[in-house]
Chain A
């Protein structure tokens, strides 16, 4: 049974701060009600993840951001063709674009929580900066998940 909310935290737990999205997913699993929420994880986004958006009312992507000067950013996504799909991994906006082209309809409302990160070396743990950012982002995420409506999430956007 597909639940109305999908939270997709992705990254490689063994690549330093790249683990932020996956760690946030684990935090949500341990601290939040999952009655209406499906959790999904993967190393990186791919074209077939467009199929995971089917039947959802609200979707949250969580990832590490190479912008190390931010704690986190919360933005609403729009389908966008970008050059990220020219790699083995694609961006959340590009997943939405694949969905739109495949289904010939607009994707469900999708948001991105990007947490500031600075180190991505194989075998490293979280950097101290990313650890601080993660703490800030968990509080924000818990507040976000206390009200699972597009209207509330829209008001929480960073920009």
Chain B
């Protein structure tokens, strides 16, 4: 592993390279590299601007506001936060998942599949396909969705339409694209109408076909340079995620399963309400973002990865036929061992996208989704925990409320935080294997970003505003002087200042 590159022994005579911000990830991140006089990497770290203020934003608000309020935490995965919050406040009104009306559970799953489908489509077609189709060190002008649209018009258009379809699923269930009010404590506030269901059914076979084609594409890309794809950014880790009681892939509700790098199951079907007994978070001085770890394994060995790679590695099977066929082929690639390739995140992500498309069709043909059941209530509680498999991995929402229904304490563990150590390890692997001893160039530095992007990190700025900071790369000597600088302007032009 590459943990020795987290902190250099002596930083006095090392040059510092800063990439700020990392592009094509939500929000801002920064990579710093300390190099010795021979340009050998001695230290590599990924710093991410923390999700500061999340808990503070939630505290002091009445609990019933939360499913709508938390959508504003993130412009990329609002539905994931919406559903995690809804599951947590179900508990506050005394409703456990098995007591939720069946129609509500199915509508929430449909909503979730729509969200994961559109988010996975965005990540692959918009963020990653430029790298995968043109090469990680290709001209920067090629590394965009527009270039993909030009060179592969069908693929580019499919990406746009897949994304649009997922948004339409969300809009039909929630009433609007954003700030929807689909899930409420103890149920859903409306069912799908027959007209809405029929509208969504119109295109679903095409969506499945495109999703299936995207898996074929990513397999082809992965196999086009197998040694490279299997080794780039590759690290061995533990994997955490939800599974169904029979071990099937699960995105909405299940028990926690953890497997280690060898594929041994460390714990299984754990009630996520007990998560505090299994997971702790460590603070490190050099990053705002915490480092979660499995308590039983300790800080050094207990870090884990979440998200598509973890889920497809962890599950015993997928309960939709085409995606299951693809999962079997995916696992056969590693002779049924755990797949550790960081770039295999893309492959696993598209298997999940296909699973979502198949599941959407299945649910649209289920008459329960056009039946409205009133939300239910049980005995009032003062603590609620909601956990789902969000697009990027396991998402924890934990609230405590007082007798006036006001949130007094909130704790969120978001997927990107769980992948913090994994991303850092992948950055170190790439830095050590591809950058060490090389002259630093933009394409080489893009390799670092490619490794980070594979995790689809969401830094949740959800703010954009006209006029963004360009990408800057600075080389600083041990005296703190900038001796080299690259600026990527918003036109895509690279300016080299020496």
A residues lining the B interface (CB < 8 Å)? 10-15, 17-18, 41-48, 50-51, 63-67, 80-89, 91, 94, 97-98, 101-102, 112, 114, 117, 120-123
Q: Which of B8-16, B94-102, B149-157, B343-351 contacts A (4 or more CB under 8 A)?
A: B149-157
Residues of B close to A114: CB separation below 8 A: 466
Interface check B175, CB cutoff 8 A: no
A33 to chain B, nearest CB (A): 22
B-to-A contact residues, CB < 8 Å: 23-26, 53-54, 56-57, 69, 72-73, 75-76, 78, 122, 125-127, 141, 143-146, 149-150, 153, 156-157, 159-161, 163-164, 167, 177-178, 458, 462-468, 470-471, 488-492
| A67/B466 in contact, CB under 8 A | yes
Query: How near does chain A come to B391, taking the closest CB pair, in angstroms?
Result: 12
**Contact call A84/B57, Cβ cutoff below 8 A:** no
In the complex, what residues of A have CB within 8 A of residue B24's CB?
86-88
Knowing A86-B23, A88-B76, the reply to whether A14 touches B490 (Cβ < 8 A) is no
Q: Known contacts A46-B122, A88-B127, A120-B463; is A13 also within 8 Å of B72 by CB?
A: yes
Asked if A102 meets B462 with Cβ closer than 8 Å, knowing A81-B144, A82-B492, A86-B23, the reply is no
- A123, B146: Cα distance in complex, Å: 35
What is the distance, in angstroms, from B57's C-beta to the closest C-beta of chain A?
A: 5
A98 to B160, CA, bound (A): 9
**B467 contacts A83, CB within 8 Å?**
no
Residues of A within 8 Å of B464, CB to CB, are 10-11, 18, 44-45, 63, 89
CB-based contact A47/B163 at 8 Å: yes
Which residues of A lie under 8 Å from residue B468 when comparing CB positions?
A: 66, 83-84, 87
A88 near B57 with CB under 8 A, answer no
> Contact: A48 with B164, CB < 8 Å?
yes
The chain A residue with its CB closest to the CB of B143 is: A86
Measured between alpha carbons, how far is A74 from B491 in the docked complex, in Å?
A: 20
Cα A117 to Cα B25 in complex, Å, equals: 23
Q: A18–B492 Cα gap in the complex (Å)?
A: 25
Q: Could you tell me the distance in whole angstroms from the C-beta of B461 to the nearest C-beta in chain A? A: 8
Given A14-B72, A47-B145, A50-B160, residue A85 in contact with residue B126 (CB < 8 A): yes
Q: A44 near B489 (CB under 8 angstroms)?
A: no
A18 to B72, CA, bound (A): 12
Q: Beyond A81-B144, A83-B490, is A47–B462 a contact (Cβ under 8 Å)?
A: no
Q: Is the CB of A63 within 8 A of B465?
A: yes
B145 and A51: CB pair below 8 A?
Answer: no
Q: Which 9 A/B pairs are nearest by Cβ-Cβ distance? A: A43-B75, A14-B72, A101-B149, A48-B164, A86-B23, A88-B26, A65-B466, A66-B467, A18-B463
